[in-house]
Structure 1
Amino acid sequence: MSAKVVVIYSGGMDSFTVLNKAIQEGYDVYAVSFDYGQRHSKELEFASRVCKKHNIEHKVVDISTVNQLLSGSSLTDNIDVPEGHYEESSMKSTVVPNRNMMMLSMAVAYAVSIEAEAVYFGAHSGDHAIYPDCRTEFVEAMNAVCKIANYQAVEVRAPYLASSKIDILTDGLKLGLNYADTWTCYNGREKACGRCGACQERLEAFAENGVQDPLEYEA
């Protein structure tokens, strides 16, 4: 019997690559997605579609009520999503307070309940400057805590922690993955905007890999 792992699966490029990497490594994968009131909830539709395609157990957990405790993020509040490439001065508005800690905590609880050995998530080096909960010291601290928080130790794994989005896409393309099955844009409209930081970073990754992005863009 294969070892079980839980993958925090947003439906975006990074977690999509992590999900498929875990599958190809032979793990019995359980995916969990979180609806935290993000305006780009369209990503959850992509996540569900991929999990159905792979016949993966997939839970979508509604934690949107937590927003009564949070404010100030352009991903959840009535604040315009900044445009242009990732820059700390503008992209700080996309930080959702404590997001990864909340998600990891619940995913670890799920892992304990199904006797999974680890929780995977898609933090990468391109996020380090903007998002404190994607940095190495955060992942290492969470890993240490999650090994002692329950009778069963659960490891926190971020396989692309030292990699850029360009590197992640390179790896995914080598695995033969189809990125038409992912959604990245911070705006949840019919087509990706092509202007927000998330879109800009995605488009750069495809350009650097010499591949056409399969998603349709407004601009």
Structure 2
Amino acid sequence: MAEKVVVIYSGGMDSFTVLNRAVKDGKQVYALSFDYGQKHVKELEFAANVCKELNIPHKIVDISAINQLIGGSSLTDDIDIPEGHYEEESMKSTVVPNRNMILLSMAVGYAVSVNANQVYYGAHSGDHAIYPDCRPEFVKKMNDVCQIANYEPVDIYSPYLKDSKIDILTDGIKMGLDYSKSWTCYNGREKACGKCGACQERLEAFEKNGITDPLPYE
């Protein structure tokens, strides 16, 4: 029987690749998505469609009540989403305090309940500068804790931790993935904005791979 794993699946480009990487690796995948009060749920709609198509068990969990405790992010609060590359100081406004620790903790609990021994999530090297909870030292410490937090040890696994978004897309292309089935833009309009950090990094990845992004842009 295939090894069970939980994949934290936002519906974005990175987690779409991670989800499919787990499938290609022969894992029995349980996908887990979170509504944490982000300004739009378009990514979650994309995630649901992909899981339905792949016949993967998928839970979307509403944890938006945590915004009573954590705030100050342009992704959740009434703050303008900045434009420009991720290296810009302004992009720090997109940090949601302690988000990945919260999401990973719940994913580990879910893993224990379904007898899975791994949780996949899509941290990568392009996020290291802005997001402390995507850095290798965070992943290592979180993994250490999750070995002892329950009777059953659970591994935290980030297959692209040391790779760039360009590398992630390269692997996805090799897998033959259709990236029109993923949504990256921080804005939830009909078309992607092409200006926010998420869009710019995505577009750069496609450019560096010599292909055109199938998503429509404003």
TM-score range, shorter chain: over 0.9
Aligned residue in 2 for 1:200:
200
Distance 1:193 1:112 in 2: 39
**Quick one: which amino acid aligns to residue 201 of structure 1?**
E
**Quick one: which amino acid aligns to residue 135 of structure 1?**
R
Distance 1:190 1:30 in 2: 29
Aligned residue in 1 for 2:21:
21
Aligned residue in 1 for 2:145:
145
**Quick one: which amino acid aligns to residue 58 of structure 2?**
H
SS of equivalent residue, structure 1 residue 201 = helix
Distance 2:177 2:215 in 1: 14
Distance 2:28 2:104 in 1: 19
Aligned residue in 2 for 1:62:
62
**Quick one: which amino acid aligns to residue 216 of structure 2?**
E
The question of 1:159 aligning with 2:159 is answered yes
SS of equivalent residue, structure 1 residue 29 = strand
> What fraction of aligned residue pairs are identical, expressed as a percent?
74
Give ranges in structure 2 of 5+ residues lacking alignment: none
The question of 1:120 aligning with 2:156 is answered no
Q: Which runs of 4+ in 1 moved over 3 A?
A: none
The answer as to whether partners of 1:165 and 1:205 remain within 8 angstroms in 2 is yes
Aligned residue in 1 for 2:4:
4
Give ranges in structure 1 of 5+ residues lacking alignment: none
- How far is the alpha carbon of 1:39 from its aligned partner? 1.3
Distance 2:170 2:2 in 1: 27
Within-5 A mapping of 1:75-154: 75-154=75-154
Distance 1:40 1:213 in 2: 21
- How far is the alpha carbon of 1:88 from its aligned partner? 4.2
The count of residues paired between Structure 1 and Structure 2 equals: 218
Q: CA RMSD in A?
A: 0.6
SS of equivalent residue, structure 2 residue 31 = strand
SS of equivalent residue, structure 1 residue 61 = strand
TM-score (norm 1): 0.99
SS of equivalent residue, structure 1 residue 21 = helix
**Quick one: which amino acid aligns to residue 214 of structure 1?**
P
